[in-house]
Amino acid sequence: MHKNSWLRQVAYQFALVLVLIFVMIPILDIFRIAFDGTIRLAPLDFRLWPKEFTFDTFVRTWQNPSQDLSVWQLLKNSLIVSGGAALLSVSLGLSMAYAFARMRFTGQRVGLFGLLLGSLMPPVALMTPLYVLLTLMGIRTTLFGLMLVYTAFSMPFCIWSMRSTFQAIPKELEEAAFLDGASAFKTFLRINLPLSLPSITVAGLVAFLTGYTEFAIGWLFVESSKNVTLAMALSGAVNYSGAIWGSLSALVFIMGVPIVLIFLLLQKYLVKGLLVGGLEAGDE
């Protein structure tokens, strides 16, 4: 391939600067609003950098988010619900994913199709019947109920992605273990599980994020203000007509920054876990 001339280099760098501006516009805007001390209710003038840089809004929001609970309690609820959903999805789906990857049984193809359908189904499509059914079980308004709902949203995808991980492990390794006299369970425990641990973590992380960032369905299910999660608090602040922009933006930071850090740190694994499968198919 021919080398880039300097003209091309300049053109490319210029194009990338345009992309940079596009990417940074909303991020800068929310940064300015969250850290500008002059904003009382909403910004009145156009600027990209805070007029008076301050952490006050942050501190105030931290001490008194829009809901009755403190940020810690909101965070605790979020962690219980989404962490529980991730744990349920991974632990209960693990053996199923392995069976789909390595064993043969009746209805395997239909099951696979069902898993794909389940991973691509919009949460709302499952929400309506779950609402009725959880009401019937009497747990609709509890954190446990919400945990089950988020499990239903993320479990099919978890199984699907863990399955592709197990499939990618060379069969020879397992066969060697079998020859040494290990049982199927032992092989799974000693060989497959450790080898695919990073990908399983990624699957769990995706399940976690599904719950962590969900709010609309949460608001439909939850009635008591004790059970509000962080994402729900944020969306509640948006819908509240006298929304204070500063604290709203601060909440976005509190909620978003950890996720961005996780994404950037685990970038390599996440990209692999989310994309490799899609390209495998074309590679065959």
Partner 1 sequence: MPSPFSEAGGLMNKNKLAFFFLVAAVFGLALLTRLRAAELLPIDYDEDDYLSAAQYYAAAIRRGDIQTVIDYRFNYEHPPLSKLVYGLALLSLPEAEQVPEPTDPNIPPATSLPEPQFHRVRYLSSFWGVLTATALAAVNPLAGFLLAINTWHTKYTAQIMLEALPALTSALAVIFYTVGIRRRPGRVAGLNPWLVASAVMLGLTASAKYMYCVVGLAILADWWLRRDDEQGVSRKGWQKWLLPVMAWGGLAILIFFATNPSLWNHPLRRFWESLFYHWGYSQSAHVKEAGLPYYQPLVWLLISVPWHPGVFLLPVDQIVTVLAIFGLGRLWERQRVFAIWLAAALVFLLIWSTKWPQYILMLSVPLCLAAGYGLEVLVIDPLIRLYKGWRNPSLVQKQYEKPVTWRQNLAALPWLLPGITILTIITLFPLLYQLAMSLTDLSNMSLKDGIQGGVWREVVQGISGQVEPVDLDVYNPQRANEVRYTGPGLLKDIFSGGLSDLVSFEIIWTVLSVGLQLGLGLAVALILESPNLLFRRWWRVVCILPWAIPEFAGVLMWLQIYDPQFGWAKQTAEGLGANAPGILMALTRWREEPVISLVLMLVAATWYGFPIMMLAATAGLKMISPVVYEAAAIDGASGWKLFRQITWPLLLPLLVPVMIIRAIFAFNQFYLFYVFESRTNYTMSYLSYFLAKSGFYAISAAINIFVIVVLITLILVFSRWSRASEGVTYA
- Residues numbered 104 to 133 that lie near partner 1 (CB under 8 A) are 104-106, 108, 112-113, 116-133
Length of the chain: 284
Q: Name which of residues 169 to 208 contact partner 1 (CB under 8 A).
A: 184, 206
Q: Is 30 in the site for partner 1 (CB under 8 A)?
A: yes
Between the CA of residue 253 and those of 72, 224, 234, 261, what are the distances in Å? 15, 25, 11, 12
Name the β-bridge partners of 36: 53
| Residue 228 per-residue DSSP state | -
Q: Which stretch binds partner 1 (CB under 8 A): 3-11, 52-60, 63-71, 76-84?
A: 3-11
Site for partner 1 in 235-264 (CB under 8 A): 235, 238, 245, 248-249, 252, 255-256, 259-260, 263-264
Q: Which CB sits closer to partner 1, 24 or 176? A: 24
The site for partner 1, by CB under 8 A, has a size of: 110
Question: Among residues 69, 81, 143, 152, which is the contact residue for partner 1, using CB under 8 A?
Answer: 152
Tell me how crowded residue 200 is: count the other CB atoms within 10 A of its CB: 22
Give least dist CB 116 to partner 1, A.
6
Between CA 162 and CA 102 the distance in angstroms is 12
Given a contact cutoff of 8 angstroms between Cβ atoms, the answer to whether 233 and 61 are in contact is no
**Shortest CB 172 distance to partner 1, Å:** 19
Q: Read off the amino acid at residue 124.
A: V
Phi and psi torsions of 132, nearest 5°: -65, -45
Answer for which of 197, 216, 223, 240 binds partner 1 (CB under 8 A) is: 216
C-alpha 219/C-alpha 216 separation (Å) is 5
Contact range with partner 1 by CB under 8 A, out of 4-12, 54-62, 67-75, 173-181 = 4-12
